[in-house]
């Protein structure tokens, strides 16, 4: 059996909606299937509602990580692009349509993230999928709130 490595790169591992659903779904995955080995890399950590059943570590350990890496926002995608030399796939899971509520932003900086040829976009729902396709580029698929079954199909 070949172990499938993948990682999530997040800002803060805490009790926010996104992080709780991520932890819950990754727990489901590792407890039901030994084939998958997820790791969460975070910049800071806070209080968690669901205890992680998988490894989680500080961001500085990501540099040599080999496997698929998911980022969850513009900031972590920037880190993913600049720091993860050995990542086999770089996927930006667009959990929020950040550019829409950023106010005055620079097209060049946004385009570098959303249209980067080294980054694959992953939408959160069908509506987001359509928006991302219309404004930036076609996402590779849909992952509803870190759903573990959908996640398996992407790996």
Partner 1 sequence: MKLLITEPTNNIIFGLYKAAEKQHDIVVLKAGVSIYQVLDSVKVDYFICETQQLTQSIISALNEYNIPTIVFGLGIDFPQKQLTVLLSEINPIILKNHNGAIYYLKPAAHCATWEETPSFDILYVAENTDDLPHLHKIVKEVTDKDYTLKIVGPVPLPFIEYVGNATYDEIIGLITVSKITILTTPTYVYDVAYRKKFAITTFKNEFFTASLDELTHYMMEEKHRNSAAKKANKIISDKDIYIARFNEIMEKVSCK
- Looking at beta carbons only, is 4 or 137 nearer to partner 1? 137
Pairing between β-strand 36-45 and β-strand 87-93 as defined by DSSP bridges? unpaired
Minimum gap (Å) between residue 98 Cβ and partner 1: 11
Q: Is there binding between residue 108 and partner 1 (CB under 8 A)? A: yes
> From CA 130, how far away is CA 108, in angstroms rounded?
22
The set of long-range contacts for 147-152, using a CB threshold of 8 Å and a minimum separation of 24, is: 147/25, 148/25, 148/26, 148/28, 148/29, 148/32, 151/25, 151/29, 152/29, 152/33, 152/36
Residues 41 to 100 in contact with partner 1, rule: CB under 8 A: 97, 99-100
**Binding residue (CB under 8 A) for partner 1 from 12, 105, 125, 126:** 105
Q: Is there binding between residue 133 and partner 1 (CB under 8 A)? A: yes
- List C-alpha distances in Å: 9 to 106, 114, 132, 146: 24, 17, 21, 13
Q: Is there binding between residue 126 and partner 1 (CB under 8 A)? A: no
- Looking at beta carbons only, is 1 or 100 nearer to partner 1? 100
Minimum gap (Å) between residue 135 Cβ and partner 1: 6
**Binding residue (CB under 8 A) for partner 1 from 110, 140, 142, 154:** 110
Residue with tokens 């899971």: 93
**Binding residue (CB under 8 A) for partner 1 from 109, 125, 126, 149:** 109
Stretch that binds partner 1, among 17-25, 32-40, 135-143, 146-154 (CB under 8 A): 135-143
> From CA 39, how far away is CA 95, in angstroms rounded?
18
Using CB under 8 A, list all residues that contact partner 1: 97, 99-100, 102-111, 115, 131, 133-137
């Amino acid at each position: 059996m070949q172990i499938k490595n993948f990682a999530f790169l997040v800002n803060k591992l805490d009790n926010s909606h996104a992080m709780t659903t991520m932890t819950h779904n990754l727990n489901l995955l590792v407890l039901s299937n030994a084939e998958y080995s997820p790791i969460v890399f975070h910049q800071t950590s806070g209080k968690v509602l669901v205890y992680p059943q998988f490894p989680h570590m500080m961001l500085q350990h990501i540099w040599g990580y080999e496997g698929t890496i998911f980022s969850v926002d513009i900031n972590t995608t920037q880190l993913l692009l600049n720091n993860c030399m050995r990542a086999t796939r770089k996927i930006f899971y667009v959990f929020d349509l950040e550019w829409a509520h950023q106010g005055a932003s620079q097209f060049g900086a946004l385009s570098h993230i959303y249209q980067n040829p080294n980054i694959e976009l992953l939408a959160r729902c069908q509506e987001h999928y359509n928006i991302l396709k219309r404004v930036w580029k076609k996402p590779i698929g849909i992952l509803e709130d870190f759903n573990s079954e959908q996640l398996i199909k992407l790996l």
